[in-house]
A and B are shown apart, each in its own frame.
Chain A
């Protein structure tokens, strides 16, 4: 049940070299991918709104590491990492950001609307709070069919004051739906800090209101995220109980590329202080010190990730724009 203290990783978790490699690789993939996306944005190859999750990589990496491929994930517009780690091809994700025909949605969704049916990634939703009831519906369908999958629903602290957060948590608790409510609390919704938005800033406590297991989690510690989501997933699979996890994290960049520094609503000092808890650096130290991975292992992971991301950019660059006819396809599904 709920604990007032932030969870540390369970000691018996078993951090073998393979797991360490995977978690480090996943976090690095998100970071490099988004760094490259930021470059492409500056070059005008990506347009619109682009929201980076740099600083928050441990959440996607840790949470997804306990999911099965047939489990579902659904998210906000800050979802590149969630989608990539769920299994999407980085080339097709980058092509989607570029608005090209080889993108996941043929370039019709863009950065904020990544969908990948093959990997049960149910989207990229850009109306704050709106995908929470949808996640409950996916949980409803799992239960209706007697399946044992779970839905992992990521959302920001900005969704908590929305009515749909409360409607969805109530319905999932009332009907016992296998939904993991994962709040990525990065302490800001655009420029509005938690304190200026919520009467109750301990978001996990809303879980108590709805009578579901809930806890705060250190979102800069990938093993803590993995452990907490692991517990919630196991419970949801076994007895369909939803859970609310308040994963405390921090975005190092601005809200979007149009808020490059994010400097008017928070101090430089605050950002620098948070960067000392960079989840990738923390985890690298943690696996290097006891020798779970060697320097060479880490270098190899970095090189592999860099190559993968370079390849993704080249692929996106080479992919054509969608044909004009795509304007009018997919408005309705033609019945067979």
Chain B
């Protein structure tokens, strides 16, 4: 195996590159006006709720510094929660607490934090430490997602999420992200999470990578990744497809998590989805985009779009 792949070959494979993504897809299909809707998780959440999609329930929002002091009261009612910056990205500033006793707050790796730690983290979020461009931000406190039993052995200390790329409303490619010890319980690929390519038709694993290189087993649990199969896959595809009408973005990354009790939930939307999904699926995005661009009439309801995808993109 050589060190690099020739540009010609990449083009043959229909691989979407960063420059082309930025110019032709992000600027081409995503109206800048709409970015704040997806860059602000709180707005996305409200939008999704009014569109009738399930989202992780909101415990509270901390908007001003003085509210930080009373955060203890807010957290009392919750035995598990997640604090995140509303305008964060790439897993930055996300604090998951899976248990607490009003004195110590436990991270998934059982590291204990004090209430002061939580407060400091929250004021960092408010000051814009984790948000795009350092702008002041809000801290969202969310219901902790309990992941589905079927994935218990596939993820190390974190909730796996499912990323689906939606082009003009058609879900075209999917990937599951499993956190690892290396990724510190977060499911962000560049931090070392495992990306599992999911066949868009069946919801079964097709390929897997870590650090952009193929893997067969989960590095921490040793589970065979090719056994992964997502229950109720068409439901997820439908959810992803509906995000198009909801957000108006033509090139969209939809992040979905599977909650053990409430089923699939929309975690966040992304107007600048990354390109690693192509490696996880061992397949370029461009051919699928082209197939959709070639359609004469793309104005169909979400179910029909999912139908079309499942008919055309069979593995």
A complexed with B: no
